[in-house]
Chains A and B, each alone.
Chain A
């Protein structure tokens, strides 16, 4: 019986497609029908078949003649996503209408019953609505469990429920749009730009927590090739050490490179860190390099993490002579994230003079939480207490001590670094020097 119904539905395809694949399609139906037993599994089978018809029948009619139109090869299929239930319902009704108009329909009522049953499935078992509700539940559960501000988390949960009640989500048919809407509603309450719901058309990887051995090996190889992004380590005229660092790489892969770089600058009278192209990295490396600039352990504030043992520099570093030398940090508008942590902390600790442009302003980060194959969300989970002021550099960036075009910053810093260091003028002008002469 079911096979006959499906055979009838198959007639919706163009004749040439049926000639070529009709029997194969029917065979596939038989195979699935045989293997997929049980009430709900059968319901799912019919849902699949109707969705498939709704998606692929129009595709087969839409210009097979133009496959190579314009010289570009193309596929005719529309995609494999389930269409919107409304579209499916219309499709099912059209199916009924076309079958009704066709003399092919035998006079047996059970077939109509079967078809009607199938179309009811399309309507009532609306998987979109169920999926929406499940997604909203998951988003609320994640926010409640992980967002660092419990009070705001509850307010956000209430807001989403309110929108849900009003039917704001059931109107949405596009998954990406739904993710965007949920994000907007979360941000309306929290004003936290790092909270977001993300939709991915591709299946999201079920990543284990933390990096895999393969990714670590690859990272090591990349870092080896790039000298751990220590682009330049050299002595400039007037015994000024210069270090151009383009990220703060993982300590586990790059500790020896960092130690060697700092050792080669150990006899400099002043040191310039060029972070104009630095896009951030690992807070451990920020602490490791900063350790050379202090003679006692210093707290390196990182807004993304609650303080750990590694938040303090391991100062003094044995044999190090840089702890009291003037420090200059070159910045640009693209200096970002972990590099901004280095800038911000040294500025707040009055241990460096920042020269260049206001940095890009990326302080916080959401932790990724996978919800299902296609949805996930970023949630800021920790907000460390800022020991220096209420605000960090999120969105505003770190403002340099000496504002200059990024392209001029090195020249200015070189002049400052090479200037006589005992004059009161320069000491008063430059916090970095003042600190060095304490």
Chain B
């Protein structure tokens, strides 16, 4: 089966990078953040979430960190994830690509706002 290449970045992976832009989060935090930033459209299931996380970790686009300060002794261990500089760079590149796409859509008159 042909595998999805890094370029284009799969939407789920891009959303995960975006969700980590402000804060380090654990899996459920990422899932909720992604749902919020996509207006509920993308609700990552455990399989998609963790296989994406696995790939992002392998590419060193995110890194695993020790459990957040909020966790108490005895509480179940949760893995938190943080965006790496490379991940931030890739997310920015992807955002730029989408911005380019929007510009094209405008010149093709698909988007309102720019006459002709």
Q: Which A positions have Cβ atoms within 8 angstroms of B?
A: 10, 13, 17, 20-21, 24-29, 31-32, 44, 48-49, 51-53, 55-60, 62-63, 66-67, 69, 72-80, 198, 201-203, 205, 207, 209-211, 215, 279-283, 304, 336-338, 362, 365-368, 373, 376, 378
Contact in complex: B31, A28 (CB < 8 Å): yes
Distance in angstroms between the alpha carbons of A376 and B102 in the assembled complex? 14
Contact in complex: A62, B3 (CB < 8 Å): yes
A25-B50, A51-B45, A57-B47 are known contacts; what are 13 more A-B pairs with Cβ within 8 Å?
A: A13-B47, A24-B27, A25-B46, A27-B76, A28-B31, A31-B28, A32-B28, A53-B45, A56-B51, A73-B5, A73-B6, A74-B5, A80-B48
Q: What is the chain B residue whose CB lies nearest that of A282?
A: B115
Q: Is B21 an interface residue (CB 8 A)?
A: no
A71 to chain B, nearest CB (A): 12
Contact in complex: A280, B116 (CB < 8 Å): yes
B53 to chain A, nearest CB (A): 8
Contact in complex: B10, A80 (CB < 8 Å): yes
| Chain A neighbourhood of B5, CB < 8 A | 72-75
Q: Which 9 A-B pairs have the closest CB atoms?
A: A52-B45, A56-B47, A25-B46, A368-B112, A337-B116, A21-B50, A80-B12, A280-B116, A62-B1
Contact in complex: B45, A77 (CB < 8 Å): no
B84 to chain A, nearest CB (A): 14
| Chain A neighbourhood of B78, CB < 8 A | 24, 27
Contact in complex: B112, A207 (CB < 8 Å): yes
Contact in complex: B51, A77 (CB < 8 Å): yes
Q: What is the chain B residue whose CB lies nearest that of A247?
A: B116
Contact in complex: B49, A79 (CB < 8 Å): no
Contact in complex: B13, A75 (CB < 8 Å): yes
Task: Tell me which of A20, A210, A378 contacts B113 (CB under 8 A).
Answer: A210
Contacts known (A79-B11, A205-B102); A365 close to B109, Cβ less than 8 A: yes
| Chain A neighbourhood of B55, CB < 8 A | 75-77
Task: Tell me which of B11, B54, B76, B114 contacts A80 (CB under 8 A).
Answer: B11
| 29-86 of chain B: CB within 8 A of chain A | 31, 38-39, 41-55, 58-59, 76, 78-79
30 contacts between A and B (CB under 8 A): A24-B27, A24-B78, A27-B27, A27-B28, A29-B46, A31-B28, A57-B47, A67-B58, A72-B6, A74-B3, A74-B6, A75-B3, A75-B13, A76-B3, A76-B4, A76-B51, A77-B10, A77-B12, A77-B13, A77-B48, A78-B4, A203-B38, A203-B39, A203-B41, A207-B113, A210-B113, A338-B116, A367-B112, A368-B110, A368-B113
Q: What is the chain A residue whose CB lies nearest that of B34?
A: A80
